[in-house]
Amino acid sequence: MSQVSVSERAAAAGEVPVTRAPYFVRKKKGITPRSIAVLVFLTICALFFCVPLYVVVVTSFKTMDQIREGAIFTLPHIWTLEAWDHAWNHACSGIKCDGLKVGFWNSVSILFPSLILSISLAMVTGFALALWNVRWAGGFLFLLFICAFVPFQIIMYPLIVMTTTTKIYGTLWAVAVIHAVLAMPVLTLIFRNYYKDIPTEIMSAAMMDSGSFWRIFFEIIVPMSGNILIVVLILQITSIWNDYLIGVTFGGLTGQPMTVNLANLITISTGTTNYAHNMAAALLTAIPPLVVYFLVGKLFVQGVTAGAIKG
């Protein structure tokens, strides 16, 4: 309101108004009790996560001597990377003392094959189910839907038997393949639903232009999958990286991912617990998915089909 009267006065006084007043002035919302309540609530929530995180981070930079003083909120007297170095290079898990880096590289070598396997299979299957004339597609979809709700624990034993007979049990491959297999139903459903929204006329055009399943898939469909790929990537990377159960079950002694490594290192340490080492190890394990969030989240793009249809 005030803006209108100001410029009106300016006009009346014969001055040239710098900006024209808006025709419809929106009421500015002030701070209401309700918004204060919301702010307080959000602050508490933020603190709930931030305080422990703060403690973990500062502790990982402290020396053991300072930790023994017991003041967990103080900043380190001397900032030291000793704990990080130890956790990465020398921490003991069982009898081996090669640090977390072993687990890290294991996790990486589980992550990539498993991502490639699960996403590529799910994309092709989703595409076929959504846009291709597949016999029994409806029944197959229903089956997938059911599968998506079967808890892992129920099929754990059969899966162990299957991996043992195929002689991959206890290797990184077992973990990677099991991850891929378990993710398939949900991922296929996600891709299928995404592709279902591609205008049928684009598919019809592609059928007339090329008619080749793979050519249409790679040239038309894959480039249009950017958005959903990012969603699925984030979903898969975090779930694979943070998984413990599959890793501990199928990894054996040599195929342990970083989480299993971390757990061993924290629980099976002898003598006094070195909190700095443990905190650094925990942070090291948590950082990769965070980095992925920040990097990949930025890539979100809008409007995959922009321009395809009249507009």
205 part of the interface to other proteins, by CB under 8 A: yes
Q: CB of 139: closest distance to other proteins in angstroms?
A: 18
Maximum Cα–Cα distance for the chain, whole Å? 92
Q: CB of 215: closest distance to other proteins in angstroms?
A: 6
Q: Which of 162, 202, 286, 296 binds other proteins (CB under 8 A)?
A: 202
Element (DSSP H or E) covering residue 49? helix 33-60
Angle at 217 between CA 215 and CA 222, to 5 degrees: 125
228 part of the interface to other proteins, by CB under 8 A: no
With H, G, I as helix, E, B as strand and everything else as coil, classify residue 96.
strand
Q: Which is nearer to other proteins, 199 or 297 (CB)?
A: 199
204 part of the interface to other proteins, by CB under 8 A: yes
**Which string of x and - marks every residue 208-227 that binds other proteins (by CB under 8 A)?**
xxxxx--x---xx--xx---
Binding to other proteins (CB under 8 A): which residues in 164-183? Answer: none
**How big is the site for other proteins, counted in residues (CB under 8 A)?**
26
| Measured CA distances, 198 to 191, 192, 288 (Å) | 11, 10, 33
298-301 long-range CB contacts below 8 Å, 24 or more apart? 299/226, 299/230, 300/227, 300/230, 301/226, 301/227
**Which string of x and - marks every residue 285-304 that binds other proteins (by CB under 8 A)?**
------------------xx
Alpha-carbon distance of 107 to 172, in angstroms, equals: 8
310 part of the interface to other proteins, by CB under 8 A: yes
The two three-digit tokens of residue 96, written as one number:
């081996």
* Interacting residue ranges for other proteins, rule: CB under 8 A: 199, 201-202, 204-212, 215, 219-220, 223-224, 303-311
